[in-house]
Structure 1
Amino acid sequence: MRVIEDVVDDIPVVLLIPETLSADRELVLWLSHLGGSAEKERPTMTRLAERGHPVVSFDPPEHGRRATATDARVFAAEVLAAFRLRMWPLLGRTTLESMRVLTWAQHRLDRVGPVLAGGVSMGGDVAIALAGVDNRIRRVAAVGSTPSWERPGMRSLTDPADLLDQGEADPYSAWFAAQLDPVRHLDHYLRDVGIAFELGGEDHHIPAGNAQDFRRALVDRDPAAGDRVRITVRDGLDHFGVTTDQDALEAAAEWLMTPA
């Protein structure tokens, strides 16, 4: 397996290329959770690359090699404490950068055509938003993720009784949500794009109801959307549990690799 590391418009990227690269194995974009990095997603990237898919990832703004905070956990807690002000621009910027990174990877691979996208928690949120604005995305796999940037019912990661105060958006953060929040642009998902959610039954930080409401809203507009959106709720798993569960990650990989 070849590993290419580069910097694209100040974005640190990593691309895994299988030894044997087949034209029917689509490029995969795989993204990390809040406070994570491309390096932390290397096991899932490797899982996909070992099955013949080229896989690209990058460090989102303020993450990994772009981080200014010395403790990723402290950084994540600070973002969650001012969710709309800080998380919405982070989601938006990462979504826009994903388009640039995908174009770079396609040029490196000398290929065009459909692309697969997925990720864990925030990474899955971005992959869903990306599918709404980039028609190259054929399938999305989101683990412990939500299609709603409002995150109704979002509770503390450490205390499920604590409903998080999301704070207020400023014009900058509100612009990103207005442009890219999937639940505000349901018509963008009426095309033939498949989305699989792997969710935890005890995840009170990103409740399964967010994805279920999204699917119902799509089905109201197009009954066929029910076949394009798959929701798997894994009993007994909280947010940390589902985002590290090997069965959930394997199911996400299998969904992405399903032929068109």
Structure 2
Amino acid sequence: MPEGHTLHRLARLHQRRFGRAPVRVGSPQGRFTDGAALVDGRVLRKADAWGKHLFHHYEGAKVVHVHLGIYGTFTEFATGDIPDPVGQVRMRMIGTEYGTDLRGPMICEVIEEAEVPDVLARLGPDPLRPDADPSLAWQRISKSRRSIAALLMDQSVLAGAGNIYRSELLFRHGIDPFRPGTSITADEFAQMWADLVALMKIGVRRGKIIVIRPEDDHGAPAYGPGRPRTYVYRRAGEPCRLCGTEVRTAVLEGRNLFWCPGCQS
């Protein structure tokens, strides 16, 4: 599932490609026909993101709300060479010079501008937003007996972080992922928050998750072709890059967790 930096990159891209101009919106697949008709031909005033949610704000107080989920993706094309829809294109946007197709989202709906706060009320602070209030996340973490690893993935606690950022952040701070939230100190959380903000900003800028410190960026290759190295994510059974202990994995609340028992004890 794309993590928060991907949605912020998409919001910036869509603002550049389609913002402040009328946009043709359709649904070749047919599952978003009624929603597309509500915004087709309207001016896209603003595209922004909160956590893993993308919002296209159109004139007339209509908002297209998208959550990519596991399979959702946008693909771009030039309007000078508009392709026939391939696959299940839920939403097609066509602007002056560019178009984009949305396939496989978990959510693609039109809501009223007044309903956006209801969506945001279900989300924790987003480290990539300048108005984020980390104290809201800290309040929930410090009062919970759930593991810190589970809490970091809970979008109602902290919006935008996914499995990679979760595992790598805990490693970078030497924190046992199974520690309950109540055992995390305010100083530990403050350091993790500041680090996560910095890491996610790199993700927005570079278009990929980069978590390895320069002095550790060597040795065993990344977990997949074209992927940056990680400390623990998808490295189960391999030696830790720092201490040599075998990296472990476990399923925690339905998601695979990775950690080093030596560095995170």
TM bin (shorter chain): under 0.3
TM-score, normalised to structure 2, is 0.25
TM-score, normalised to structure 1, is 0.25
